[in-house]
Amino acid sequence: MMTLLKTIGVLVGLISSLLVFAVVCLVAINASDRTKSPNTLLVESWLKQQPVESNENGFTYAMALLNATKENQSGQSTTALTFNAQQNKLTANFKDACQLTDWDTCNAFFSHNSETIKRVIHTHQANIKKYNTLIAMPDWQESDESLTTQHLPHWSLLFQLRDLSILAAINRPDSTPHKIDVDAAIAFLNKDAHFWNNVYHSSRSVLSHTIANNMLKKQLSFASTLVKENPNIVTKNTTWQSAFTLSQRDFERIFSGEWLFSRNIMQQAVTDAQKNSAPFYEKWLVNTFVHLIDDDNLRSEYFVNVVKEPVLASSSTLKQPDYCGTDNKLQQLWQLRYNPIGKILSCTYYETDLKLRVVNMNNEIEQLRNNLMLPQ
């Protein structure tokens, strides 16, 4: 019995010593960060922007509009731009009745909801004026600091405000009652399309690119209904005369923004781990195993390859690094000996074909544009 206990004690001691040795080795291996790779330097060069005047920057104005707050009776801060149930229903019904439908259905919506439309427009008159100011702005430039998960604006509110703005444009006091003012609709869509096409080719992340894409889809879907009554809507909209195409610079701008978005999140996580309220083990793990420059290098390798790779209809051609998955688990563990947290997180990028997603969105609006251009 004593021999067995001694044997167990020796084994426990050996295992403990091996674990301590392994931890010491890992700490030593992770003692320093890397230097910036050529890919990281390339992505950083893609991030450079020519500064624009803040009073001409649509992004700055949109953030102020969507993040504007007011205090309610309880003293709590709430978003100033809000919509009640009736207003939500009105914009939803407008979409169902007037996007990719027929002229009679859309016109009937305006006839049946004329009084409700007038009340809602009156309520949001000041906000509608702000939206019209927004789409008259010549620039759209997202700041580096905005590419984060903190203080995200309620983009859905801007979609609703846009719908109310077009309802206001085609229900002017001097227009024919209970009927769509097609000329006013054409004028509004021309300004709206010009602005959001500019956003589409200025966005710095997949999120803002998707928002611009959806705005363009809404315009084209509504126009497909109006064109049945007035074919001139196509020729009078200058934005729709050219195909929606994505250049190499568009991909560089979007994916370098995604790279910066991830960097900002990691830097915020490191900052949070340094706070006094953070647990000791969290501080130790972050200080020991998180290397921000190497994280940048790992992400830049992915995004540079994404920009360069050809677009295939089936799936991405990018090969995952060995540390993301291999049949030899010991080899994978060896690959993870340095910056394991950063490498595990970087593997998530290879699970989604971001470039194909962006290209498919572009194909959608181009198909809508082509359908609109067909002779009616």
What is the tens place of the pLDDT at every residue in 113-135? 989 999 999 999 999 999 999 99
Short-list 232, 233, 243, 87, CA closest to 168 = 87
Q: With bands split at pLDDT 50, 70 and 90, how would you rate the model's confidence at 62?
A: very high
Please list the alpha-helical segments (H only) found in 170-291.
182-200, 206-226, 232-235, 248-273, 280-289
Phi, psi dihedrals of residue 80, rounded to the nearest 5° = -70, -35
pLDDT score for 120: 93
Which one-letter amino acid corresponds to residue 247?
S
Do residues 216 and 196 touch, judged by C-beta distance below 8 A? yes
Note the pLDDT tens digit of each residue in 227-245: 888 888 888 888 999 999 9
% residues pLDDT > 70 (the chain): 84
Most confident of 16-20, 68-72, 267-271, 310-314: 267-271
Query: Counting Cβ atoms within 10 Å, is residue 32 exposed (0-12), middle (13-18) or buried (19+)?
Result: exposed
pLDDT at 112 over 70: yes
**Band of pLDDT at residue 277, cut at 50, 70 and 90:** confident
pLDDT category, 27, cuts 50, 70, 90?
Answer: low
